[in-house]
Amino acid sequence: MPSLSDLGQLPKRLVLGRPVRSDRVGESQLPKHLALPIFASDPLSSVAYATQEILLILTLAGTAFLFLAPWLAAGVVLLLAVVVLSYRQVVHAYPSGGGDYEVAMKNHGQFAGLVVASALLTDYVLTVAVSVSSGTDNIISAFPQLDDHRLAIAIGLVALLVAANLRGVRESGKTFAVPTYLFITGILVMIVTGLVRDFFTDNPVVAESADYAIRAEAGYGDLGGLALLFFALRAFASGCTALTGVEAIANGVPAFRPPKSRNAATTLALMGGIAASMFAGVTALALLADVKYVENACDLVGFDCESQPQRTVIAQIAAATFGGDDSIGFYFIQAATALVLILAANTAFNGFPLLGSVLAQDRFMPRQLHTRGDKLVYSNGILVLAGFAVLLLLAFDADSTQLIQMYIVGVFTSFTIGQWGMVRHWNRELRKENESALRRRMQRSRVINTIGGSLTTVVLVIVVVTKFVGGAWIVIAAMPLIFLLMRAINRHYSHVAEQLVPDTDARTLPSKVHAIVLVSKVHKPTLRALAFARATRPDALTALTVNVDDAETRGLQADWERYDIPVPLTVLESPYREITRPVLDYVKSVRRDSPRELVVVFVPQYVVGHWWENVLHNQSALRLRARLQFQPGVMITTVPWQLESSIGHDDVGAPRPGPGDLRRGLTDDQVDVTPYG
């Protein structure tokens, strides 16, 4: 028969499966065909909203400036290519998985490293919130009647992602591979089909919103000069969401199969090529189909914004390409897009725990983030990430438009610091290297990282300036708070380590041992505690009780004499009926009289089998132990006594103890409550 503890583990086992041995950690490493959907699903899925974000900004001025979209998209593709090439240098130079954090820490120092870490941690949380919200948008585009349940759908999807990731990297990789590849295939087929129809047939693609006019927002009707430049840069900054998640592969190199660096670099190149092709194709189709997408659906003249939600750009293109919103192709694209957007959060669910583990190892985060769970994944990091993502979803009602305004600030902060850190890395390596072939390779890498650093610096400035008012200020404010928190954690760990360094007196034995047994009544738990205390052969032994009721204390003294207990009973007076304070004062007086004397306090306590029994027993000794643990030179020894209700509680089906077994301590010591006081 399974034990109660086994039954308690049943829900956990149903969700996570059987635990995995530590020596099988290498078996969870990923081949390239699984690493691509795990680490690259974020930049690949951003195709679903990067074009949409460009159009959303441009249509604030009506349709007058949509001609800028191809040029802005070309700039995003160029930037993506440079960043991918730059990160290929990172995975070769730093294959341990620290990514930009490790690069900044080793080349710029602790300050820059923590800035990068705070930026990445913030952005990973936003990646989950944005990806899930955008996925929910595409679900609602296919099924508009679900619009009222947007928040519930988004939170439920985060819960499913947590469960999938807690099962382990290999399992989640297999889960995510199919929809990611289906999305890639579906988008490429849609692009080819749409372009063929538009250029080689008499049946071009026309979006459902093509005939709608757009009401320009106030102040955007007549832009020129610097205002037009700022407007174009704002649209470009929104389109740069296509680059989110590129750094995840550099952070996840340890998860690849050997040769790790080469496989990670190859996966980066594949991801960059596929993402650029899909983004360019979707943007081209959106412009050819004359897609209209606005921030406020009621700005679409002729659109019934009261009765239905605005369809996403991908949904409009799919409907136009495959013959309407009731076609198989439309539902296939919507299903694949929704799935890959939801699963794009997996990039963060892999990157955040890995980075959290590195930070914990460096003592900038709690040590619990460095601990692997049952399935050899960093379970605590996964749960922390999910918790903060859900808070964002609740705060912004799973509105992807609002969440995206906070996006990519952290990404480009880490991009910029990391790339300039790589330049310093190559400068240092070139000073030590004399072989001409290696020097040429390093010089080429330095040029790539210099270009990458220059471009990402410019884009970071653009993003901060153009998105600050729209919501980026929240991220800019959160990053220093996370930075200060990590510094505080590090100071705490360093201070504790200094206190624990052995000194010259570490091996010096105490001059004496004074044992104190707390007594409330003359009963079996007290007698056992006295027997254990005597067995330790202390230099002094005191049986101690506190007089809070004269009649009870006289009865205790009478029982003490009647049982002829060979230890004198010391009674502490307590006119205000306190127990804790008189005992603490007594222990302090012993320590004061002999500072080198070790005081051992023996506390008898019950072991109960039911939670409600805890309420029925006095908790004064629990409070006393909580105070005693802060006294230097004092040890607390618990002496358990199992009540009948606890028999077999830890092992259902085990033989019941025979007469005298409890007194001999033959059952498990599961301490819950205490009989003292």
The pLDDT tens digits for 66-80 are: 889 999 999 999 999
pLDDT for residue 187 is more than 70 = yes
**Which has the higher per-residue pLDDT, 619 or 650?**
619
CA atoms within 13 A on the CB side of 49: 33
Model pLDDT, residue 651: 52
- Mean pLDDT, to the nearest integer, of 200-211? 88
Residue 59: C-alpha distances to residues 54, 213, 486 (Å)? 9, 10, 42
Beta-bridge partner residues of 515:
541, 600
Quote the CA–CA distance of 442 and 229 in Å, as a whole number: 37
- % pLDDT > 70, the chain: 85
Contact (Cβ atoms closer than 8 angstroms) between residue 517 and residue 538: no
Quote the CA–CA distance of 88 and 84 in Å, as a whole number: 6
Model pLDDT, residue 339: 87
Beta-bridge partner residues of 439:
none
Query: What is the DSSP code string of 59-106?
Result: GGGTTTTGGGHHHHHHHHHHHHHHHHHHHHHHHHH-TTS-HHHHHHHH
Phi, psi dihedral angles at 609 (to 5 degrees): -105, -10
Quote the CA–CA distance of 343 and 52 in Å, as a whole number: 19
Model pLDDT, residue 615: 57
Quote the CA–CA distance of 227 and 568 in Å, as a whole number: 91
Residues, the chain? 677
* Answer CATH for 512-646 from 3.30.980, 3.30.230, 3.10.450, 3.40.50: 3.40.50
Lowest mean pLDDT among 479-483, 543-547, 610-614: 610-614
Instruction: Kindly give the pairing relationship between strand 540-547 and strand 512-518.
Output: parallel
Closest alpha carbon to 88 in 257, 241, 271, 358: 271
Model pLDDT, residue 357: 85
Model pLDDT, residue 657: 47
Angle of helix 47-58 relative to helix 69-93, nearest 10 degrees, comes to 140
pLDDT for residue 266 is more than 60 = yes
Model pLDDT, residue 611: 66
- Mean pLDDT, to the nearest integer, of 626-640? 86
Query: What is the DSSP code string of 265-282?
Result: HHHHHHHHHHHHHHHHHH
Model pLDDT, residue 78: 95
- % pLDDT > 90, the chain: 37
Going by pLDDT thresholds of 50, 70 and 90, the confidence category of residue 671 is: very low
Model pLDDT, residue 407: 81
Q: pTM for this one?
A: 0.74
- Mean pLDDT, to the nearest integer, of 206-226? 79
Closest alpha carbon to 418 in 112, 122, 81: 112
- Mean pLDDT, to the nearest integer, of 124-140? 90
Contacts of 493 (CB under 8 A, 6+ apart): 363
Going by pLDDT thresholds of 50, 70 and 90, the confidence category of residue 580 is: confident
Contact (Cβ atoms closer than 8 angstroms) between residue 617 and residue 606: yes
pLDDT for residue 179 is more than 70 = yes
Instruction: Kindly give the pairing relationship between strand 634-642 and strand 300-301.
Output: unpaired
- Give the count of beta carbons closer than 10 Å to the beta carbon of residue 616: 10
Going by pLDDT thresholds of 50, 70 and 90, the confidence category of residue 252 is: confident
Model pLDDT, residue 629: 85
203: tokens are 């049946």
Place of tokens 């210099």: 450
Judged on CB neighbours under 10 Å (0-12, 13-18, 19+), 49 is buried
Lowest mean pLDDT among 12-16, 32-36, 594-598, 616-620: 12-16
Residue 44: C-alpha distances to residues 261, 277, 464 (Å)? 21, 10, 24
pLDDT for residue 5 is more than 50 = no
- Mean pLDDT, to the nearest integer, of 230-246? 88
Q: How far is residue 253 CA from its own chain's centroid?
A: 18
Going by pLDDT thresholds of 50, 70 and 90, the confidence category of residue 470 is: confident
Judged on CB neighbours under 10 Å (0-12, 13-18, 19+), 456 is buried
**Which has the higher per-residue pLDDT, 96 or 540?**
540
Closest alpha carbon to 169 in 378, 425, 22: 378
Residue 562: C-alpha distances to residues 550, 556, 571 (Å)? 18, 10, 17
SS (H, E, C) 381-418: HHHHHHHHHHHHHHHHCCCHHHHHCCCCHHHHHHHHHH
CA atoms within 13 A on the CB side of 534: 11
pLDDT for residue 92 is more than 70 = yes
Name the CA radius of gyration of the chain, rounded. 33
Model pLDDT, residue 362: 85
pLDDT for residue 431 is more than 60 = yes
Quote the CA–CA distance of 61 and 234 in Å, as a whole number: 13
Quote the CA–CA distance of 442 and 430 in Å, as a whole number: 7
Place of tokens 């001609």: 67
How close are the terminal C-alpha atoms of the chain, in Å?
Answer: 39
For residue 628, give the amino acid letter.
L
Quote the CA–CA distance of 145 and 141 in Å, as a whole number: 9
What is the H or E stretch that residue 550 is in? helix 550-562
326-341 per-position pLDDT tens digit: 899 999 999 999 888 8
Model pLDDT, residue 640: 84
> Which of helix, strand or coil describes residue 525?
helix
pLDDT for residue 665 is more than 80 = no
Model pLDDT, residue 674: 42
Asked whether the bond before 144 is cis by omega within 30 degrees of 0, the reply is: no
Going by pLDDT thresholds of 50, 70 and 90, the confidence category of residue 641 is: confident
For domain 22-494, give the CATH number: 1.20.1740.10
Average pLDDT, the chain: 83
Contact (Cβ atoms closer than 8 angstroms) between residue 597 and residue 510: yes
Place of tokens 């990068």: 116
Domain extents for the chain?
22-494, 512-646
Quote the CA–CA distance of 404 and 398 in Å, as a whole number: 11
- Give the count of beta carbons closer than 10 Å to the beta carbon of residue 486: 21
Judged on CB neighbours under 10 Å (0-12, 13-18, 19+), 526 is buried
Going by pLDDT thresholds of 50, 70 and 90, the confidence category of residue 275 is: very high
Query: What is the DSSP code string of 322-379?
Result: HTSTTSHHHHHHHHHHHHHHHHHHHHHHHHHHHHHHHHHHTTSS-GGGG---TTSS-H
pLDDT for residue 97 is more than 80 = no
Quote the CA–CA distance of 464 and 413 in Å, as a whole number: 10
Contact (Cβ atoms closer than 8 angstroms) between residue 525 and residue 675: yes
484-525 per-position pLDDT tens digit: 999 999 999 888 888 767 666 555 666 788 999 999 888 888
Quote the CA–CA distance of 596 and 599 in Å, as a whole number: 10
590-627 per-position pLDDT tens digit: 988 888 888 999 988 877 776 666 655 546 667 788 88
Quote the CA–CA distance of 361 and 356 in Å, as a whole number: 9
